[in-house]
Copies of this chain bind each other. A is one copy, B any other.
Amino acid sequence: MSDSTAPLTIIDIARLSGVSKSTVSRVLSGAESVSEDAREKVMAAVQTSGFRRNDLARSLRSGRTGMIGLVIPDIANPFWADVARGAQDAAADENVSLLIFNSDWDPERERRHLLALTQSRVDGAIVNPVRDGLDEIARFRIPLVLIGSSAERFPQLPSVGSDISQGVSIGLDRIVAAGLGMPALLVGDAERTARERFVAAVRSIGEVEGWPLDEMRLEDGHYTVDGGRAAMNRLLARDIPRVVFAANDLMALGALQAIRSSGLRCPEDVALLGFDGVPAAEVSAPSLTTVAKPSREIGGRAFELLSKKIAGEPDVPKLSLPCALIERETLPQPNYPRAVSTG
């Protein structure tokens, strides 16, 4: 194509096509009153020269970069990878690029990344705020959309999360339907807010079902497969619960290992319900029945909200997306149809 290393500018294109740089700029920015003749000449020059518009200069002048930041705990975590994918798909449709950062649940890293983002002059950012760095976040003068359960601490900021209460509700309903009685609970420590929300939801919904939280066994553990295995072993050390509701899939998967290596059968001896919907839950044996969070949709909707915020819309909402039950093998099918209250 072009012979030398000379970086081309729109001025070169203007010279090649015999028009002014203003006209070249207009052609390259899409319509806006340019004659067909001029447009063709410019396009031809662009084609033969292999010119690529410099988005840096463009952004500097226009104030828009077409880039947004995504700050999540860990892209290698399947849940967050899925959120990222959802955001990317939505962003790609509007030609915006994603700058992705891992906070590793570390407020200091989060702060550094946010700083880098403001310096890069991204148009906005989607952030899963880390526990303690909360106040500081508001200080970054940049359109922000929050994701995750800690988002609720910022009532003034738009956010997208999954509806934990509703998820717990369908989970407990399903456990009721299984007819195995009150579940033992397995909860994690990853995010304090997430844990609290889960427990709070179980309390309020359990009351309706006639299952007071106080009477349930509740075991804490690290938010990992190993943590779930250990927590489940502690549970089994005292007695064998008929059914276990885990607050996340990783721990549920660990619990499954603990159940099976104790010589117990799942679901015949101990039934199990997870929460999250990670892909690995599909390939465990038996495959894990779980309440899935709409991870990909969370990313997608977060991008949509951010777009609105960037566009200057005044009332960008806080969204709570519903979870969905994925029927698999660790929770037995209901023996009998449940009474359904119509309406």
- Is A285 interfacial (CB-CB < 8 Å)? yes
| Interface contact B67-A56, CB-CB below 8 Å | no
Hey, which chain B residues are within 8 Å of A57, CB to CB? Answer: 60
**Known: A81-B78, A98-B99. Contact between A283 and B280, CB under 8 A?**
yes
- Is A204 interfacial (CB-CB < 8 Å)? no
> In the complex, A92→B74 CA distance in Å?
13
- Is A216 interfacial (CB-CB < 8 Å)? no
Please give the distance in Å from A287's CB to the nearest CB on chain B: 8
Hey, which chain B residues are within 8 Å of A5, CB to CB? Answer: 141
Copies of this subunit: 2
* A116 (CB) vs chain B CBs: closest residue: B97
Looking at the complex, which of A34-42, A117-125, A158-166, A333-341 is the stretch in contact with chain B? A117-125
Please give the distance in Å from A102's CB to the nearest CB on chain B: 6
Contact pick for A85, options B75, B118, B254, B285, CB 8 Å: B75
- How many chain A residues sit at the interface, stated as a range, is 35 or more
> In the complex, A164→B40 CA distance in Å?
50
- Is A317 interfacial (CB-CB < 8 Å)? no
| Interface contact B99-A54, CB-CB below 8 Å | no
- Is A55 interfacial (CB-CB < 8 Å)? yes
| Interface contact A257-B283, CB-CB below 8 Å | yes
Please give the distance in Å from A52's CB to the nearest CB on chain B: 5
- Is A244 interfacial (CB-CB < 8 Å)? no
- Interface positions, chain A 166-204, Cβ under 8 Å from B, are none
- Interface positions, chain A 28-84, Cβ under 8 Å from B, are 52-57, 59-60, 65, 67, 74-76, 78, 81-82, 84
| Interface contact A97-B120, CB-CB below 8 Å | yes
* A55 (CB) vs chain B CBs: closest residue: B119
> In the complex, A282→B256 CA distance in Å?
12
Residue pairs across A and B with Cβ atoms less than 8 A apart, 23 shown, are A52-B115, A52-B118, A54-B119, A55-B119, A55-B121, A56-B56, A56-B59, A56-B121, A67-B120, A75-B75, A75-B81, A76-B81, A78-B78, A78-B81, A78-B279, A85-B102, A92-B101, A98-B100, A100-B100, A254-B283, A257-B285, A284-B285, A285-B285
Q: Which 5 A-B pairs have the closest CB atoms?
A: A285-B285, A280-B280, A76-B85, A81-B81, A253-B283
- Identify 5 new A-B residue pairs, CB closer than 8 A, beyond the known A56-B56, A97-B101: A52-B119, A60-B60, A88-B101, A97-B120, A279-B280
